Amino acid sequence: MFVDVLLFLLVLSALIFFHELGHFLAAKACGIYVDRFSVGMPPRLFGARLGETDYCLGALPIGGFVKMAGQEDAPLSEEERKTTYGHVPPERWFNNKPVWQRYIVILAGPFMNLVLGVVLYIGVAALGDHVPEWEVVARVGLVEEGSAAANAPLFVEQPGAGLVDYSGTPDAVGWQTGDYLVSIDGKPAENNTDLAMAAVLGGKKQQHLVILERPLPDGTRKRFASPITPTVRAGEERPSFGVWPFKTAVVKEALPGMPAELAGLQPDDVIERVDGKPVCVATMIKYVESIPDGNEVKLDVLRDGKPVRLTMKPKTIGRIRDLGIRAEEPDTENPGKSRPAVLSITEELKEATGLQRKDVIVEVNGQPATVDLFRELEKISPEGTLHLALERPAVLFGLVQQAGALEVDVPVNAVRAIGISFAPKTVFVKAAPAEILPVAFRESYKAVSMVVGTVYALVTGAVSPKEMGGPVLIFQLTAAAADEGVRWLLKIAGFISVNLFIFNLLPIPVLDGGMLVMLGLEGVRRKPLSEKFQERFQSFGLMLIVGLMVFVTWNDVVRWITSIKP
């Protein structure tokens, strides 16, 4: 936790430093007297005065400022100005400079956040790393039943045939696992995150046009245009298309004595199709589990780049479909010996048994519980039950949930299985030297578009204000990104820097955008605004910002409590 906090403060300080550096450099270039350059808010911890400027570090790492003669958040009286800046020539005061120069000084702060974002994205592009394939491949994984994607019309696109008539009878219905996402509303799709963001930012009423390419058995692809409107499904809060990311079915191990091993499936085999249908990990598991007892399945496998077909008859085993478990405290040397805890549970099973997420399984059928024992007893008990003794941990010192214990009988489903464990597929990503700068600019533009789209969605009501986050969320994102490596940390820091670029340009008093509004009014009137108006304008802005900070911090707290609740 200490390291996470320190890292968060370092990232925040870097973002603030570059923002204030923009104001500082522009002020110096315009000949404005700069009394103090501070990273962090008062009280002043330490620093040094070099020339006319005091360079210092403030005790509160929640902001920073450049103190210029004649630039005041709250207007000073003539006597206060004389006491503070009486020694400074009037021509070096901020408020005596031409409007265009003051515009440059104010605009330079947010602009430096944009520059920093580009620099950080340059680091992301130049720093090679293995990333999950879904981050760099836009492909449809599992399509949820009854979702928008499952019912979406598809119209064949024929090059040179002109506009497609979307009011007619579609050529097909429903997206399929393995479909490639070409573009969303005319913009190239880079990964499934683009699809999810389009659904969230557009809201549940906006129709989108998605271009898909469907691989055919002969190796060619058929292109479809699919007009689709996202829906908010039961148990969800945000609109979605109902599509999971595509995860290639790479075999890690064929379990001993199971049909896959007996049929000759080998580690590193890539399962492309099952019974002629394209599959990913999720769709393959779902398909095989639902096969009627006694039926065979045919697997089209890619082995060392060569196609292989294997036939096998799935075995009936037990599995609690509605319950996911994880190791309570994983033993890195032998994780199967750890006690199991409830990771996920459907509402139906929760209501039927009283089980909750994070319950720890102490005994299974009277035996001390381990992950391996749970899996083995589950496997050999199709259509039976498992008797579980559980401990319920206290949450937030018992304020959210008190500690307790319970015993329940959980029904075990009969499913089919062929005995495979899957290996995650990663892709090494590193931009060529000539592509580093173009990639960084594209990522920066994409981040700006996403932030602007989010602001627009908040204004129009497509996105709830409850989705907004503050310092706690930034801390969580920074800590999570650091756990994934330097590349992810640079990426999230770049995105936050772009957020600050947009946020500071909003026309809200106290922010740089509010100051730009006042300078614009001064330019139109050809004379400064009254001190009384400026004071009220800034006071209103300060109250608005404080209220906003309280609101987003409350959102963060509610989000955190929700995450730790069962």
- How would you class 196 by CB atoms within 10 Å of its CB: exposed for 0-12, middle for 13-18, buried for 19 or more? middle
Residue 78 pLDDT: 67
Q: pLDDT > 70: what percent of the chain?
A: 96
- pLDDT for the residue numbered 77: 64
Q: Which amino acid is at 216?
A: L
Average pLDDT taken over every residue of the chain: 88
Task: For residues 206-221, give the mean pLDDT.
Answer: 90
Angle between the N-to-C axes of helices 192-202 and 436-460, in degrees from 0 to 180, rounded to the nearest 10 = 20
**Fold of the domain spanning 140-245:** Pdz3 Domain (2.30.42)
- 9 pLDDT tier (thresholds 50, 70, 90): confident
Domains 249-318 and 321-411 share a fold: yes
Q: For residue 516, what are its two tokens?
A: 């730009």
Q: Which amino acid is at 135?
A: E
Least confident of 249-258, 320-329, 481-490: 481-490
pTM of structure:
0.83
For the chain, the domains span: 2-126+491-564, 140-245, 249-318, 321-411
* 8 Å CB contact between 150 and 240: no
Q: What is the pLDDT of residue 218?
A: 83
pLDDT tens-digit map of 491-532: 899 999 999 999 999 988 888 998 898 888 888 888 887 777
Range of lowest pLDDT (20-24, 173-177, 180-184, 218-222): 218-222
Radius of gyration of the chain (CA): 29
Q: Assign 472 a pLDDT band (cuts: 50, 70, 90).
A: confident
Question: 249-318: what fold?
Answer: Pdz3 Domain (2.30.42)
Which residues on neighbouring strands pair with residue 211, listed in sequence order? 183, 225
3-state secondary structure of 371: helix
What would the mean pLDDT of 121-147 be, rounded to a whole number?
91
pLDDT, average across residues 158-179: 80
- Residues 6+ away with beta carbon under 8 Å from 272: 249, 278, 279, 300, 301, 302
d(CA 82, CA 93): 12
- Residues 6 or more apart whose CB falls under 8 angstroms from that of 21 comprise 112
Give pLDDT tens digits for 172-194.
999 999 999 999 998 999 888 89
- Contacts of residue 460, defined as CB under 8 A and 6 or more positions apart, other chains included, come to 203
- Superfamily in which the 321-411 domain is placed by CATH: PDZ domain (2.30.42.10)
How far is 69 from 30, CA to CA, in rounded Å?
A: 13
In contact, 251 and 279? CB cutoff 8 Å: no
Token look-up 């592509």 returns 435
What 8-state DSSP symbol labels residue 202? Answer: H
The pLDDT of residue 167: 78
3-state secondary structure of 193: helix
* Token code pair at residue 184: 């969303």
The pLDDT value recorded for residue 159 is 63
Looking up tokens 């639902």 gives 290
Long-range contacts of 248-252 (CB under 8 A, 24+ apart): 248/133, 248/280, 248/281, 248/425, 249/279, 249/280, 249/281, 249/284, 249/422, 250/422, 250/423, 250/424, 250/425, 251/420, 251/421, 251/422, 251/423, 252/420, 252/421, 252/422, 252/423
pLDDT in tens, 73-123: 655 666 766 777 778 888 898 888 999 999 999 999 999 999 999 999 999
What DSSP state is assigned to residue 73?
A: S
Decide if 227 contacts 166 (C-beta within 8 A). yes
Residue 144 CA: distances (Å) to CA of 11, 69, 192, 475: 39, 61, 15, 33
Return the number of other C-beta atoms located less than 10 Å from residue 136's C-beta: 13
Pairing relationship of beta strands 404-411 and 297-303 according to DSSP bridges: unpaired
Number of H-type helices and E-type strands within the chain: 13, 26
Which among 177, 155, 174 is positioned nearest to 164, based on CA atoms?
Answer: 155
Q: Give the pLDDT mean for 326-354.
A: 83
Residue 379 pLDDT more than 70?
Answer: yes
- Alpha-carbon distance of 385 to 364, in angstroms, equals 10
Q: Per residue in 239-286, pLDDT tens? A: 999 999 999 999 999 999 999 999 999 999 999 999 999 999 999 999
Q: 480 pLDDT exceeds 80?
A: no
The closest of 28, 29, 95, 31 to 66, measured between CA atoms, is: 28
Of 527, 517, 452, 449, give the one whose Cα is nearest residue 106. 517
Task: Give the separation between CA 154 and CA 212, rounded to whole angstroms.
Answer: 9
In 3D, which of 63, 54, 71, 62 has the Cα closest to residue 105?
71
**Half-sphere exposure of residue 327: CA atoms within 13 angstroms, side-chain side:** 13
Q: Which residues of 51-73 are buried (b: 16+ CB within 10 A; e: fewer)?
A: eebbebebeebeebbbbbbbbbe
Classify residue 413 as exposed, middle or buried by CB count within 10 Å of its CB (0-12, 13-18, 19+): middle
Burial of residue 113, with CB atoms counted within 10 A of its CB: 0-12 exposed, 13-18 middle, 19 or more buried: buried
Whole-number pLDDT of residue 162: 55
> What are the tens digits of pLDDT across the range 290-304?
999 999 999 999 999
Which one-letter DSSP state was computed for residue 139?
Answer: B
pLDDT at 403 exceeding the cut of 80: yes
Predicted local confidence at residue 335, as pLDDT: 67
> What is the distance in angstroms between the CA of the first residue and the CA of the last residue of the chain?
23
